């Protein structure tokens, strides 16, 4: 190994990393050379190398006997950790797997001030088993500490005791208001279109705002600029296809991805043979992603993005029918300009929204219900590297929100009526943040976001300070502390805490104050065993003022005045998260553990007593293991454990005759979150077999969801106990589980 000058030399940064094969096997004694320069090192027997470089962009050549020589480019702006793949000479190189400046590398995680963040790339997500074989990067995020699922197999997330409405879900910077399909079982993210997702659980940088609990920042793929590629997959319930390639070779590129489920085609065949009374409801969804990237000059890049997705549920009989449709729309354009070597300007304009419609027909009566939210926004961000140790970012954003609330129409032979409220609101924000490392040990990221919201002449203002401090004990371990304050001006009108398509977004108004939340956290990070393992431990406390909930018995249908349904109170959550990850070798994976408490309190709910929401989960454990059996076969497994959710169950009943004289038993609820469901646990197993073909590459992906067929409770239902005369006498509690063991197979392909 080449001896290097001492670490920490003035204005020099450590570039270190590992050379591995695509199967993850270390490449011994590889040569890493700066093209056109004198720097060169030879890696050790574990593939590890390091060198000191001044800040700049470097062309690097990596070579080793028996492997193809690789040329790549690296940007070094601070201590940098990379993983570089070499391909054996007899293996065709189909896809370059390079992780440059990988924020997921342990040393990078230790070095940054940012804590409470999780990053998953789609390449990582694809290695894990998936329900129905449908890879969903959001469900992989649920395996990280502090991020909890809403229930068995669902894609909704609850972050550090925050509600589902407190997540800012961004696709290439555009908010998506209902990011799931099929009542939450699938996210809106098509695996071929997504590059990576970052989730901020706390310590939010000042450039983010608008939600209290998390930011999910999804980056979509740009598409290749060298040649056309077609890839896709055929699964049990859906298929997808993606095309990407150059618009102009090595300059402009595009990608278009589409996905559709086809269960309704099967049920449609059954329905042809079934009588009217037994017709099976039909359901399907589709979504389309697209992106075009243009390199206008050496300094200017322009991209245009869009997403459109829709769900359909239809129940049709002769005398009545229910038709539900819901979906998101997002379109944006981004112009990035490299002003000079140290300054970048990005400007984004977008349009996006969500709408749902329900059309019910019974007899000659047609009833329609709906609601919309649409945003138009422009924002601009500038990043200036003032020096090697100091970076400043600042930005402005304006959003125009338009809400259509309580849309309702009824038409009969003699009447045709409709109603609904249109509400508009404008949100403005500005921020500045400064990331500075005054000494080698200390690094500080502090900033201020100032936001405002105006609706019908009523103004609200929010001052949102942010700060994060890192103290590095050495290059492999650090302590971190942070504090953030956030304002949320939009509220989700939901009676369930789950992500229903009919949940309605409603703005802050004169009668509905914005929610604001503060969070403080303390963490310790460490990279051990030559960057093979990463350990992280954090504690946090979060408190929310003006938390919004709905009064008991709130009516959100056929109601265009939600304000009388809202109640206001407070919420608080605290907990600790522990995480260890193995990043190198044939076997990788992680173990995460969360111990957490979540409370809400409203004077007008639960007799004023604090209660646990359904997403309060005391203990949460996830174990993820990925093992590469060979360069073409990988085996993966996950095991999750979660304490039971708190649900509201009735404790009494009474007989109600009604004026019809037909006695019914009415359950009596006495409080919220009064019963804890049994704990859930589950193991999933996946096997991926990849093979190179003359035409490209194919993959068989086998998955076994819930491998030991544990019947995990999703909810508790009370089934009426009926006597011989057909009269309900009492109720019998039963746990309802959705999925036993579920095998799935998916065929995936990539054409050259």
Residues 238-267 that bind other proteins (CB under 8 A): 263, 267
User: Closer CB to other proteins, residue 124 or residue 565?
Assistant: 565
Q: Does 277 bind other proteins (CB under 8 A)?
A: no
Distance CA 687, CA 128 (A): 8
Strand 180-181, strand 174-175: pairing: unpaired
Footprint (CB under 8 A) of other proteins, residues 543-572: 550, 552-555, 557-558
Out of 300, 510, 733, 745, which residue is the one contacting other proteins (CB under 8 A)? Answer: 733
To other proteins, the closest distance from the beta carbon of 55 in angstroms equals 53
Q: Does 740 bind other proteins (CB under 8 A)?
A: yes
Phi, psi of 273 (to 5 degrees): -100, -5
Q: Hey, CA dihedral for 142, 143, 146, 152, is it positive or negative?
A: positive
Nearest residue to 264 via CA among 294, 244, 249, 284: 284
Stretch that binds other proteins, among 54-62, 79-87, 493-501, 528-536 (CB under 8 A): 493-501
Q: Does 495 bind other proteins (CB under 8 A)?
A: yes
Dihedral of the alpha carbons of 157, 159, 165, 169, in degrees to the nearest 10: -70
To other proteins, the closest distance from the beta carbon of 437 in angstroms equals 49
To other proteins, the closest distance from the beta carbon of 236 in angstroms equals 8
Out of 66, 275, 363, 726, which residue is the one contacting other proteins (CB under 8 A)? Answer: 363
Footprint (CB under 8 A) of other proteins, residues 364-393: 364-365, 367, 369
Burial code of 654-683, b = ≥16 C-beta within 10 A, e = fewer? eeeeeeeeeeebeeeeeebbbeebeebebb
To other proteins, the closest distance from the beta carbon of 721 in angstroms equals 7
Q: Does 183 bind other proteins (CB under 8 A)?
A: yes
Q: Does 75 bind other proteins (CB under 8 A)?
A: no
Distance CA 399, CA 428 (A): 6
To other proteins, the closest distance from the beta carbon of 363 in angstroms equals 4
Helix, strand, or coil (residue 707): coil
Q: Does 472 bind other proteins (CB under 8 A)?
A: no
Q: Does 318 bind other proteins (CB under 8 A)?
A: yes
Out of 327, 716, 746, 750, which residue is the one contacting other proteins (CB under 8 A)? Answer: 716
Burial code of 88-127, b = ≥16 C-beta within 10 A, e = fewer? beebeeeeeeebbebebbbbbbbbbbbbbbbbbbbebbbb
User: Closer CB to other proteins, residue 163 or residue 210?
Assistant: 163
Binding mask 135-164 for other proteins (x = CB under 8 A): ----------------x-------------
Whose tokens are 């270390």? That residue is 26
User: Closer CB to other proteins, residue 57 or residue 735?
Assistant: 735
User: Closer CB to other proteins, residue 277 or residue 413?
Assistant: 413
- DSSP annotation of 8 reads T
To other proteins, the closest distance from the beta carbon of 715 in angstroms equals 3
What the block records as the tokens of 676 is 């804890």
To other proteins, the closest distance from the beta carbon of 156 in angstroms equals 13
Please answer whether residues 348 and 173 qualify as being in contact, where contact means their C-beta atoms are separated by less than 8 angstroms: yes
Out of 54, 73, 529, 717, which residue is the one contacting other proteins (CB under 8 A)? Answer: 717
Q: Does 178 bind other proteins (CB under 8 A)?
A: no
Strand order, beta sheet including 31-34: 40-42, 31-34, 56-63, 70-76
Footprint (CB under 8 A) of other proteins, residues 389-428: 408, 410, 412-415, 417-419
State which H helix or E strand residue 492 sits in.
Answer: strand 490-493
Out of 500, 547, 596, 701, which residue is the one contacting other proteins (CB under 8 A)? Answer: 500
Strand 728-737, strand 680-693: pairing: unpaired
Nearest residue to 129 via CA among 151, 153, 103: 153
Helix, strand, or coil (residue 351): strand
User: Closer CB to other proteins, residue 37 or residue 667?
Assistant: 667
Q: Does 735 bind other proteins (CB under 8 A)?
A: yes
Name the CA radius of gyration of the chain, rounded: 27
Q: Which three-class secondary structure string do you get for 129-181?
A: CCHHHCCCHHHHHCCCCCEEECCCCCCCEEECCCCHHHEEEEECCEECCCCEE
Distance CA 370, CA 232 (A): 34
Please answer whether residues 721 and 731 qualify as being in contact, where contact means their C-beta atoms are separated by less than 8 angstroms: yes
Stretch that binds other proteins, among 26-34, 328-336, 619-627, 716-724 (CB under 8 A): 716-724
Please answer whether residues 71 and 85 qualify as being in contact, where contact means their C-beta atoms are separated by less than 8 angstroms: no
User: Closer CB to other proteins, residue 36 or residue 652?
Assistant: 652
Other CB atoms within 10 Å distance of the CB of residue 248:
10
Distance CA 180, CA 136 (A): 11
To other proteins, the closest distance from the beta carbon of 138 in angstroms equals 18
Footprint (CB under 8 A) of other proteins, residues 630-689: 647-661, 664, 666-670, 672, 674-675, 678
Side-chain-side CA neighbours of 238 within 13 Å: the count stands at 24
Out of 67, 132, 306, 307, which residue is the one contacting other proteins (CB under 8 A)? Answer: 132
Q: Does 10 bind other proteins (CB under 8 A)?
A: no
Distance CA 171, CA 216 (A): 8
- Say how many residues touch other proteins, by CB under 8 A: 96
User: Closer CB to other proteins, residue 387 or residue 655?
Assistant: 655
Nearest residue to 213 via CA among 460, 476, 515, 472: 515
User: Closer CB to other proteins, residue 228 or residue 266?
Assistant: 266
To other proteins, the closest distance from the beta carbon of 262 in angstroms equals 11
Residues with Cβ < 8 Å from 309, sequence gap 6 or more? 181, 188, 285, 286, 287, 288, 327, 328
Q: Does 695 bind other proteins (CB under 8 A)?
A: no
Q: Does 182 bind other proteins (CB under 8 A)?
A: yes
Please answer whether residues 66 and 86 qualify as being in contact, where contact means their C-beta atoms are separated by less than 8 angstroms: no
Binding mask 191-230 for other proteins (x = CB under 8 A): ----------------------------------------
Stretch that binds other proteins, among 108-116, 164-172, 204-212, 318-326 (CB under 8 A): 318-326
Out of 313, 403, 453, 489, which residue is the one contacting other proteins (CB under 8 A)? Answer: 313
To other proteins, the closest distance from the beta carbon of 651 in angstroms equals 4
Footprint (CB under 8 A) of other proteins, residues 85-114: none
To other proteins, the closest distance from the beta carbon of 412 in angstroms equals 5
Q: Does 721 bind other proteins (CB under 8 A)?
A: yes
User: Closer CB to other proteins, residue 533 or residue 718?
Assistant: 718
Nearest residue to 368 via CA among 313, 312, 419: 419
Q: Does 130 bind other proteins (CB under 8 A)?
A: no
To other proteins, the closest distance from the beta carbon of 737 in angstroms equals 5
What the block records as the tokens of 112 is 């940054």
Helices (H) and strands (E) in the chain, counts: 4, 46
Q: Does 745 bind other proteins (CB under 8 A)?
A: no
């Amino acid at each position: 190994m080449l001896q290097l000058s001492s670490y920490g030399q003035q204005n020099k940064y450590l570039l270190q990393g590992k050379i591995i094969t695509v199967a993850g096997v270390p490449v011994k004694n590889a040569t890493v050379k700066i093209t056109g320069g004198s720097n060169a090192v030879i890696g050790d027997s574990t593939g590890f190398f390091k060198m000191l470089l001044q800040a700049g962009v470097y062309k690097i050549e990596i070579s080793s006997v028996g492997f193809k020589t690789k040329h790549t480019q690296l940007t070094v702006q601070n201590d940098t950790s990379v993983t570089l793949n070499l391909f054996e000479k007899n293996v065709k190189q189909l896809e370059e797997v390079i992780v440059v400046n990988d924020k997921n590398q342990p040393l990078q995680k230790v070095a940054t001030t940012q804590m409470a963040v999780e990053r998953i790339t789609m390449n990582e997500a694809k290695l894990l088993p998936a329900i129905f074989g449908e890879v969903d990067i959001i469900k992989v995020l649920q395996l990280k500490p502090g991020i909890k699922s809403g229930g068995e197999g669902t894609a909704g997330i609850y972050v550090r005791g925050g509600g589902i409405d407190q997540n800012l879900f961004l696709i290439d910077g555009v908010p998506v208001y209902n990011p799931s399909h099929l009542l939450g079982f699938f996210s809106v993210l098509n695996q071929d279109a997504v590059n990576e997702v970052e989730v901020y659980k706390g310590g939010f940088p000042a450039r983010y705002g608008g939600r209290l609990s998390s930011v999910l920042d999804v980056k979509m793929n740009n598409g290749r600029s060298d040649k056309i590629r077609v890839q896709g997959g055929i699964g049990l319930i859906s298929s997808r296809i993606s095309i990407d390639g150059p618009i102009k070779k090595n300059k402009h590129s595009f990608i278009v991805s589409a996905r559709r489920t086809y269960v309704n085609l099967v049920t449609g065949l059954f329905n042809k043979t079934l009588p009217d009374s037994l017709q099976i409801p039909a359901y399907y969804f589709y979504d389309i992603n697209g992106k075009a990237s243009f390199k206008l000059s050496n300094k200017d890049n322009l991209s245009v993005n869009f997403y459109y997705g829709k769900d359909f549920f239809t129940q049709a009989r002769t005398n009545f029918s229910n038709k539900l449709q819901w979906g998101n729309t997002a379109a944006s354009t981004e112009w990035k300009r490299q002003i000079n070597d140290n300054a970048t300007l990005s400007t984004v304009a977008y349009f996006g929204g969500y709408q749902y419609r329900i059309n019910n027909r019974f007899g000659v009566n047609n009833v329609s219900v709906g609601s919309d939210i649409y945003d138009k926004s422009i924002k601009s961000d500038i990043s200036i590297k003032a020096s090697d140790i100091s970076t400043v970012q600042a930005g402005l954003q304006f959003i125009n929100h338009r809400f259509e609330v309580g849309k309702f129409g009824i038409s009969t032979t003699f009447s045709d009526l409709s109603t609904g409220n249109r509400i508009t609101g404008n949100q403005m924000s500005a921020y500045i943040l400064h990331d500075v490392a005054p000494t080698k040990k200390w690094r500080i990221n502090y900033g201020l976001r100032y936001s405002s919201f105006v609706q019908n002449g009523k103004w609200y203002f929010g001052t949102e300070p942010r700060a994060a401090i890192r103290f590095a004990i050495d290059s492999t371990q650090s302590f971190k502390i942070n504090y953030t304050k956030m304002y949320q001006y939009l509220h989700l009108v939901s009676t369930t805490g789950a992500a229903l398509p009919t949940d309605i977004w409603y703005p802050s108004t004169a009668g509905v104050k914005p929610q604001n939340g503060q969070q403080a956290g303390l963490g310790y990070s460490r990279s051990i065993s030559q960057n093979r393992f990463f350990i992280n431990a954090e504690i946090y406390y979060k408190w929310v003022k003006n938390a919004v909930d709905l009064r008991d018995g709130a009516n959100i249908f056929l109601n265009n005045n939600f304000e009388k349904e809202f109640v206001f109170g407070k919420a608080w959550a605290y907990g600790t998260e522990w995480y260890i990850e193995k990043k190198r070798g044939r076997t990788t994976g992680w173990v995460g553990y969360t111990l957490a408490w979540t409370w809400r309190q409203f004077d007008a709910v639960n007799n004023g007593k604090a209660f646990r929401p359904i997403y309060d989960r005391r203990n949460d454990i996830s174990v993820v293991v990925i093992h590469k059996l060979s360069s073409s076969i990988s085996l993966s497994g996950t095991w999750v454990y979660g304490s039971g959710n708190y649900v509201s169950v009735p404790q009494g009943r009474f007989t109600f005759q009604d004026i019809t004289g037909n006695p019914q038993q009415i359950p009596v609820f006495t409080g919220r979150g009064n019963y804890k469901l049994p704990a859930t646990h589950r193991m999933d197993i996946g096997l991926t077999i990849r093979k190179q073909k003359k035409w490209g590459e194919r993959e068989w992906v086998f998955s076994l969801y819930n491998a030991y067929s544990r019947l995990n409770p999703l909810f508790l239902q009370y089934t009426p106990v009926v006597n011989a005369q057909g009269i309900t006498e009492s109720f019998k509690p039963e746990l309802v589980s959705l999925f036993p063991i579920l095998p799935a197979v998916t065929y995936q392909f990539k054409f050259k």
